[in-house]
A and B are shown apart, each in its own frame.
Chain A
Amino acid sequence: MRRFLMRLADICRSGRRERELTRELAAHLQLLEDDFIRRGRSVEQARVEARRALGSAALTSDLHRDARSFAWIDDAQRDARYAIRTLRRSPGFTTVAVATLALGIGASTAIFTLIDRVLLRSLPVRDAGDLVLLGDARGAGTAVGSQDGSFTLFSYDLYRHLGGVGALEPLSAVQSSKSRASVRRSGTGVSDAVWTKLVSGNYFDALGTRPAFGRLLAPSDAAAGAPPVAVVSFRYFKERINGDPAAVGSVVHVNRVPVTIVGVAAPEFYGETLEADPPSFWIPITADRELNGAAAIIDAPDRHWLYLIGRVAPNTTIADAQARVSAALRDWLRSREGAVLSPRIEAEIARTHVDFTPAGRGVTRTRRMYGFVLRLLFAISAAVLVIACANIASLLLARGAARGKERSIRLAVGASRGRLVRQSLAESLTLALAGGALGALVAPASADALVRLVFRGSESLPVATTPDARVLAFAFALSCGAALLFGALPALRGGADAALRPPRLAWANALVVGQVGLSVVVLASAGALTRSLINLARQPFGFIGDRVLVVTIDPARAGYDYARLGPLYRQIAARLTALPGVSGAALSYYSPFNECCWSFTISVEGPRGPNDGRSAMLNRVSPGYFTTLGTRLLRGRAVDERDTPASTRVAVVNEAFVRRYLPDSDPIGRRFGIGGDARRRDLEIVGVVENAKYDSPRDRDEAMAFMPLLQPYPDDPDGDVSQFARTVAVRAAANPTAVAASVRQALTAIDPDLAVLRVDTMTADVGRALSRENVVAVLATSFGLLALVVTCVGLYGLTAYRVERRTREIGIRVALGAQRATMMTMVMRDVLLQGALGLSIGIPAAFLAIRVIASVLYGVSPADPRDAALAGAVLLVCMAAAGYPPARRASRVDPIEALRQE
């Protein structure tokens, strides 16, 4: 054991030991000589006999090394040193190889980091794998009605009913979308806008997490009459209350309601949803009444707004739990419908159920939204890495061919082929590890930049991009894989080459063809993604947002009730419109790509159409809304001052609504309602506007109806949450950001308690809605260009080498009367032949690739030949450019000079 350690230790100081041995052997020789002289030999004779007696110094030193250390490590060390020496001798090649590898490995590692964090990681809670979500979280917000048979959002009343079943133990509830709240700490006059979520008292218990300070919520916190408390996130604790544990127990004002901070969540905990800007406050669900005043929905049994998460009770199977919960859900639905059920409703209830989803990795739209995209980007970066490897392999092959003579000599003096292969592999590994180390160095920053790009405009992300052992191991494995990929072929060719036959470059040529093919695929995909982004950004959105400022407010939390909303809205619109540089202002429940959306089941007056019972998006708007946004009114009138709580309930609908529900008659004057048949005469259509995008730029034209903010819904005469306008749109005469400050001031002047939660331009909202497409297009294009450059550099290197090797031949042919132009054609023909071969593989593959990514494309047909054709053309031109300098050199070969060589 001791000896093993010593041998290991010896690896590090093998130089010193070697010198000591040399000294010792010299001393030994001296003593032997002395002895031989003493025995009467001459000095000369003594020296010879002494050497004979000692034996071969080299052998001794080899035996010594074997005993002292591990031979293979020593060999590897020498191979590495040799590799570094060789690589240093060709700095150009080394730099290009290491740089392309670093880019390829760095990009792949960066994207792997995100895949790991976003797609693969479990929630940082106890036994995350056991968590189940009721439903599939396909939507967030508030829903009314059937949810298409499969429930994913639940009301508080329904939560309590399902919790009584006992199939899940515990079953917790959490608000499906987060809310902004204004938080003021005692003693400070400033309020912060923070994200909050209402959760059931057993939420933290159900997830299984521990507090960093204080305590987490308990069921008693959500009991009736319990004083409002909150648990804050570790990030909030660090950044807003300076990490002071004394803050636990202090009181803050959330929407002007005093709330006691009882604890701080664990640093890694971000809630059940992986999203940008996770909540800073978790507040017991029953505080909804105090915090949201008139807008509270906890006591509305038919408003479904909660996600339910739990763990299946012991001795219960998932299928069993699912069946019991679904049965309880149907019972509850029947109880909501009253004594007599129409057969249609009974049939609808009968097909209603709850599907469980594993929630160990959290509930997230992020994963759904980015899963495919991340995998796509990973595939593209891997393709670039493969291209880089093929490129290095072909250059190594060419270089190996150039060093054929050296290798022959080494074989002749007794180097084993295995040894040569090993040395060549050592060279590849050295290159790959250098590239990999560089790549791993830049990967965290790139991953960080990527996250920032994707989640532009968010303050914080629960995605740490600091590299950990997993990521580093990945980068290392990738480097070794790359080394094998580009090193194996040259090494084997090098070891097997018949000593004196000049090696052919068939393999190198094949590699170039492969590179061209793969580059076409990457470039064509990048082209398709970019065109899809352009299609998305340039499409008609149904509004003109470039001069519109969007302000988020929350009148409910400022203490307004329904009666005071009318005067407030009129005042806001009038004051803001009067500001210099502002041409109009209007309020709405939500605006495009901001706080969107509400969907409801619609039923239309008259004979039942095929689309009755399908849902439409609903919004509430103030007078002047469509003009402010630049949405065109096509027929009838918009919402205006005539629409008061006392007047006829009206609605403006969009073209898609008309097409879906009222395809063959004049929509003006027709009636529809929200909910079942009983409600189908509630609202009268007074106008039709053009379709506009609200949820995502990829929306097909969604049916949408706009109700006046001030008209309560007939079945909710007291008022409706959606009457509390959350957004104010302000149309500026010029640059909207220029009026932001005066808009803020005007709002504060109207009511200092009316917190302005956010001010941004509508252009920025649109940009955020396109950020994913943007990032993908930009990255794919950069990777495509990288692939192009790498391929062309490789082609140039190979062609230049080939011309150099044929200098003599060219010289002879020129001397025999060949035209110089012919020589040039000869070289260029080879280059273009490789290009053509590459394209013949690449273009069909590109079509295939575009078909695979069709789901993320917009307005780009997979059969559209433009991208593949353009990619092919670009590649051919670049290849010609890369081949031209060597071709030109070929045409300028001086026969005399050429023949004088060698």
Chain B
Amino acid sequence: MSLVERIEILQGTLDLIVLRALATMGPQHAYGLAARLEQVAEHPLMLNQGTLYPALVRLEQNGWIKGSWQKTENNRDAKYYAITRAGTRALEKQTDRWHRLAGLVNKLLVDEQ
């Protein structure tokens, strides 16, 4: 599976997944998020962890998440991202949209069969 394909799969949904993870788990660093995604996807190599970064920049520029440097429990430096209030609102909207979209696609796929 090429890198490009992997990114395409995730495009659009990655932002939503990151927001959702931050909303449920609280502030996380990029590594923590990557680990969480692998866990959810049940596929350890599905995500090239570097590809998370563009999503983080997009979200931060939209004002949906906010980053700050903190110490991990092992006393390592890491940038922790937290969801903002605007982010929570966006998450609700995006989730809604996703459900509708997913429902539609599902329906189409079922009808086609």
Contact = CB atoms under 8 A, between A and B. Distances in A.
A28 B58 contact: no
A70 to B, nearest CB: 12
Interface stretch (A56-64, A259-267, A392-400, A430-438): A56-64
A505 interface: no
B78 A3 contact: no
Interface string A57-79: 10110011011100000000000
Interface string B3-34: 10000000000000000000000000111100
A30 B76 contact: yes
B29 A55 contact: no
Contact of B58 (A3, A53, A57): A3
A57 B48 CA distance: 11
Contact of B49 (A3, A21, A53): A53
Interface in B20-60: 29-32, 35, 45, 48-51, 53-55, 57-58
A64 B76 contact: no
B77 interface: yes
Interface string A1-41: 01100110010000000001101110110111011000000
A2 B35 CA distance: 30
B53 A60 contact: yes
A27 B74 CA distance: 12
A64 B49 contact: no
B61 interface: yes
Given A63-B50, A63-B54, A64-B53, A3 B61 contact: yes
B78 A60 contact: no
A64 B59 CA distance: 12
Contacts of B3: 55
A68 B49 contact: no
B49 A27 contact: no
B51 A60 contact: yes
A31 B31 contact: yes
A54 interface: yes
Contacts of B35: 35
B56 to A, nearest CB: 9
A60 B51 CA distance: 6
Most A-side CB within 10 Å, residue of B45, B54, B57, B77: B57
Interface in A77-134: none
A31 B72 contact: yes
B61 A28 contact: no
Contact of A21 (B51, B53, B77): B53
A55 B61 contact: no
A54 B76 contact: no
Interface string B54-88: 11011001110000000010101111000000000
A874 B89 CA distance: 79
Interface of A: 2-3, 6-7, 10, 20-21, 23-25, 27-28, 30-32, 34-35, 53-57, 59-60, 63-64, 66-68
A31 B29 contact: yes
| Range class of the B interface residue count | 20 to 34
A66 B53 CA distance: 11
A34 B76 contact: yes
Contacts of A53: 45, 48-49
A104 B22 CA distance: 61
B78 A31 contact: yes
B50 A56 contact: yes
A688 B74 CA distance: 117
Contact of B61 (A6, A30, A32, A35): A6
15 contacts: A2-B62, A2-B63, A3-B62, A6-B61, A24-B78, A27-B29, A28-B31, A31-B31, A32-B49, A34-B74, A53-B49, A54-B50, A55-B49, A60-B53, A68-B61
Which 4 pairs, one residue from A and one from B, show the smallest C-beta to C-beta distance? A60-B50, A67-B54, A55-B48, A55-B50
Given A2-B62, A32-B31, A34-B76, A25 B57 contact: no
Contacts of B77: 23, 27, 30
A20 B30 CA distance: 13
A68 B76 CA distance: 26
Contact of B76 (A21, A27, A63, A67): A27
A68 B56 CA distance: 10
A867 B3 CA distance: 72
A2 B74 contact: no
Contacts of A60: 50-51, 53
Given A27-B78, A34-B74, A55 B51 contact: yes
Contacts of A63: 50-51, 53-54
Given A25-B50, A55-B48, A56-B50, 8 more contacts: A2-B63, A3-B61, A27-B77, A27-B79, A31-B31, A31-B72, A64-B53, A68-B54
Contacts of B79: 20, 23-24, 27
Nearest to A21: B53
Given A55-B48, A55-B51, A56-B50, A7 B61 contact: yes
A50 B8 CA distance: 23
Contacts of A64: 53-54, 57
Contacts of B31: 27-28, 31-32, 35
Contacts of B57: 64, 67-68
A64 B63 CA distance: 17
A65 to B, nearest CB: 9
A28 B47 CA distance: 14
Contacts of B78: 24, 27-28, 31
Given A27-B77, A31-B72, A66 B54 contact: yes
A472 to B, nearest CB: 34
Contacts of B48: 53-55
A60 B52 CA distance: 9
A67 B58 contact: yes
Nearest to B7: A63
Contacts of B58: 3, 67
Contact of B29 (A20, A28, A59): A28
B108 to A, nearest CB: 31
B89 to A, nearest CB: 14
B31 to A, nearest CB: 4
B78 to A, nearest CB: 5
A15 to B, nearest CB: 16
Contacts of A23: 77, 79
A882 to B, nearest CB: 56
A21 B30 CA distance: 11
Nearest to A34: B74
B51 A28 contact: no
Nearest to B50: A60
A872 B63 CA distance: 70
B76 A28 contact: no
Nearest to A5: B61
B32 to A, nearest CB: 8
Nearest to A66: B54
A6 B60 CA distance: 10
A24 B79 CA distance: 6
